[in-house]
Structure 1
Amino acid sequence: MNEFEWEELEAATENFSPWNLISKGSHGRVYRGILNNGKHVAIKKQSSGLQDSSKIENEARLLSSLHRNSCLVEFLGVGHDGSNNKLVVMEHMPNGTLHELLHSPAMPPPTWRKRVDIALQVANGVRLLHGSNPVPIVHRDIKSTNILLDSNWDAKLADFGLSVSLASDNDATLPAGTIGYLDPNYNTPCKLSTKIDVFSYGVVLLELISCREVMDVRRSPTSIVDWAVPLIKQGRFLEVCDKRTRLQPHLDRKNIICLLSLAARCVLPVESLRPSMGEIVATLEQSIRFPLTTVGFIRRAILNTTSSTAVVKKCRRIIVKKLVLMVTS
C-alpha cells in the first residue's frame, strides 16, 4: 500500500482549503489536490470532530485488497494526519457524480445510449465486488452520488466506507445504506447478502432512465420504486422516461425496455427472484450487441442501394424489417 507524507497531502490541497472541497458526508470530506508529480487526486479526510474513523479505515483496507479495475475508482494509497487519522488518496474524477449529471439544471441530459453504457459500467463494478476472492464484498451504499464520472464521462463506483465482506462475523454488522436505495428486506444483520446491492442498483436504473429523484416528497408516490414499477408492469415504459431526451422510437425503445424490465426485477420484494450481477451484465451486453450507429449505417446502406428492380426492392424491405425487429425484440 502506497504511503503518502502528510506534508505532501497538505500542500496538494492548499492545507485542505474549502476551495478544494469536493464533497462532504457523515464520515468524511473529499478534497481535490495536485501531488508533487503533477497528478490530480481526490483525498478523503475524516470530518473534524468525528471520533469514529472506522469507515475510512474500512475503505482503505477494502480498496487495497481489490485488483485495479476500470469500473472502480482507482485507489492510490493512504496518508496520516497529525493525529494519526488515516486519509485515503484516490484518482480525481473531474466530471462529478451521476446524480449531478441527472439532476443538475446546468447539465445536458445524457443520451439513451450513454445511459446504457453507464448502467453497464456500474454493473461491472458491482459484479467485481460480488465476485471478490476469497469472500464476496457487499457495497451497501450504491446510489447515484457514489457513482463518479471520469474525464471521458465513464462511470466508476466509489465510496466503500460501508462495504463489508460476506464473512461469518457479519451477524454483528448493523444494516446500513441510504433511504430510497436501501432494500426494505435488509432490516437485520442476518439479511446481509449481495441481493441488497442488486436492489440498490435497480433503483439507480430507475433514476437513470427517469431522472426523477429517488425520494421526492413533492410527488405521490414519494418513492421512485412505488411510482415506476406499476407503470413498467402495465407496459407503460415511455411514461417512466426522461422527457428531455429525444427518443429514436425503434432503436432507443429496445434499450429502454431492457433497462426498465431489468430494474423491475432488481427491486422485486422476494430476494431469490432478483437477478445476480452476472446476469445483469450479460443482459445489458446483449442489449447493446448491435450498436445503434452500426444498425443505422447498415440500414442507410440498404436504403441507398441503386438497383431499382422489383426483386431487389422487395429484398431491401425484408432486410430493413428484420433489422428493426432484431433491435426491438
Structure 2
Amino acid sequence: MPVQAIAWSPSGAVRIVDQRALPEDFATRDLESVAAVADAIRHLQVRGAPLIGIAAAMGLVAGLRDDRGLARGAFLAKLEGHAAVLAATRPTAVNLRWALDRMLAAARETPGEGGALWERLQVEATAIWEEDRAMCRKIGEHGLALLPDGAKVLTHCNAGALATGGIGTALAPIYLAHEAGRQVQVFAGESRPVLQGARLTAWELTHAGIPCTVIADAAAGALMRAAQVDVVLVGADHIARNGDFANKIGTYGLAVLAFHHSVPFYCCAPSSTIDLGLADGDAIPIEQRPAEEVKTLAGRPVAPAEAGALNPAFDVTPARYVTGYVTDRGVVKPPFA
C-alpha cells in the first residue's frame, strides 16, 4: 500500500509525514498553526507541488480554528495574512498559489461571519485533497499503457505518494502497473543535493513492495546508452502554456539525454499544475535554496568552507524534449488552453 503523506489529526491539526526523517525514521508531526505549516514547507518536511498546495489549504483551516468567533471582515483579514505567509514559502510550485487562491475565493464567496467562513474553508481544503487523490489515480490510469510487463523506467526526485494527496504523479502508473501484476523495474536517480530519489522514492516504492534500484544521477546517460531505460517518467512543479516545465534540478539534463538516446520522456502532473497565464518557461520563478544543502551530506561537509555553491532547486525543461504530458485528462500535448 502506498503511504499516506497527509491527514487531519483528531484535534483538527495537519498531520504530515516528516520527510526529512526518511528513510531512517518514519515520523509524523501534527502542525497546529500556519507558522508550523509554513516552516514545514520551507524546510522540506512536507514537499511536492500537489502536497504543499494541500498542506497550505489545510493549514489555513488549522490556523483559524480559534478565530471562528471573529466578524466577517476581521476573519477575512486574518485569512489573507495567513495566505500571504504560506504563499511566500516556495515560489516555484504553482499548486501552492492555486490552492491558496481557491481557498481565498471560497471564503469571499461564502456569506456570513467567521464561523460560516471557517466551515466552508474546511470543506474546501478537504475537497482539494480528495480531488488530488482522484487526479493521481487518473494520471496512473492514463499512464498505465506506457508500462508493459517488463518495462524499465527511470524517474527523478520524488513524484509519488509522498509528494501528493494520492498515489503520486510520475509514480502513479508504476503503482497501477504493480497492482495489475506487471513486473516493472524502476531506476530512481538519487536527486542531489537533498536526495529525494534515494531517500523518498526508493523508500516509498520498497515500502509498497515494488523493486527499485537507486542510481547516481550521473549514471542515467550510461543506462540509456546500454538500452536499460525504456521510458522516463518525471513530475512537474510548474507547467507553462507552451509545455515548458519546471521540475527538480537535473530534470532538464535527463530530458536531453533521453532525446539523444530516443527514449520516450513523459511529464506527469495534474491539470492544476498547468499555468495558463504563463506563456513559456522563461517566466517560471526558480527557487534558490541554501548553499549548505550542496556543501554538506548527512550533516558532514563535502566541500571546503571557503568554496561557494549554487543551489537552484529546479530547472526548466523545454517542451521540445517532452514526448507527452500525462495528466488527469489524458496524455496531452501543448499548447494548453
TM over 0.5, shorter chain:
no
More strand by proportion, 1 or 2? 2
Which is bigger in relative contact order (C-alpha 8 A, separation at least 6)? 2
Provide TM-score, normalisation by structure 2: 0.28
> Which one has a bigger Cα radius of gyration?
1
